[in-house]
Amino acid sequence: MTITFDGSFDGFLSVVHACYYKKLSPTSILPESEAQLSLGGEPVFIETDPAHAAKVFSAVREKISLEAAEFVYHAFLHADFDRFMAMLSYIKLGFKEGHMVNSHLQQECVRRVHKLAGHVRRESHLLCGFCRFEETKQGVFYCKITPKNDVLPMLAVHFIQRFSGMAWVLHDKVRGQAAISDGEKYIITSTPKDAVVEYAENEEATQELWVAFFKAHTIEARKNLKLQRQMMPIYFRRNMTEFIKN
């Protein structure tokens, strides 16, 4: 049996609820948009129910642990389309083993969820330092990112604290979504493909100063490109001022 859902986190938690209370035993779980990748009979679609989702997530936090809830959420943000069965197995095991579930590293579902969550956390952590905001004509600061995973929600939480009182837009070009903040709160919404950003007149000069600063702190005799690639992976650099302008 293939179960499909709307692709949201609440949608996945609604699937977990259905598996428990409707005794469903899926062989695969996929977002509805990717259901064509699955072979077999007609998929079973589970409607998103916020109440069911809240009940499941509360149970994960209380009956397993807050740490387990974080692992599940961060694993969900990974780009691997085949992650949902491992997440379901992890939750089921957690309801049996309680807070000790994360010590059961002999279980494939535990290792898989840990690995997926670890990838997401690392990418989010790196982007907290690699994001480059640019001032627009409206005085709003704009940053474009192209992450491998759906780290926008994690980054939004970081920057709403980091840039309190400042209006900004963090745009995930890969997924066509943006976190938009007025300086006090933020929303995540879809973005039009033809959206145009108009930059402030002094932004070009600011970028040149940033590049000059970057160059001034470079010691040619001590360059270590291998270490630099480890600390600052190539795929981040397409959106970083010091590499675009350099």
- pLDDT per residue over 151-210, tens digit each? 999 999 999 999 989 999 999 999 999 999 999 999 999 998 877 888 888 877 777 766
What are the C-alpha distances in Å from 95 to residues 9, 23, 143, 192? Answer: 19, 15, 41, 42
- pLDDT for 1: 85
Taking a C-beta distance cutoff of 8 angstroms, is the pair 207, 201 a contact? no
| Confidence at 38, pLDDT banded by 50, 70, 90 | very low
- pLDDT for 207: 73
Question: 49 or 36, which is more confident?
Answer: 49
Taking a C-beta distance cutoff of 8 angstroms, is the pair 62, 11 a contact? no
Burial 186-195 (b: 16+ CB within 10 A, else e): beeeeeeeee
- pLDDT for 222: 73
- pLDDT for 108: 97
CA distance 121 to 133: 21
Query: Highest mean pLDDT: which of 39-53, 57-71, 220-234?
Result: 57-71
pLDDT tens-digit readout, 114-135: 999 999 999 999 999 989 999 9
Q: What is the mean pLDDT of the chain?
A: 89
Question: 100 or 244, which is more confident?
Answer: 100
pLDDT tens-digit readout, 65-117: 999 999 999 999 999 989 999 999 999 999 999 999 999 999 999 999 999 99
Residues 6+ apart with CB under 8 A from 137: 198, 199, 200, 201
What strand order describes the sheet that includes 2-5? 28-31, 2-5, 44-45
- pLDDT for 61: 97
- pLDDT for 191: 92
Q: Are strands 177-181 and 168-172 parallel, antiparallel or unpaired?
A: antiparallel
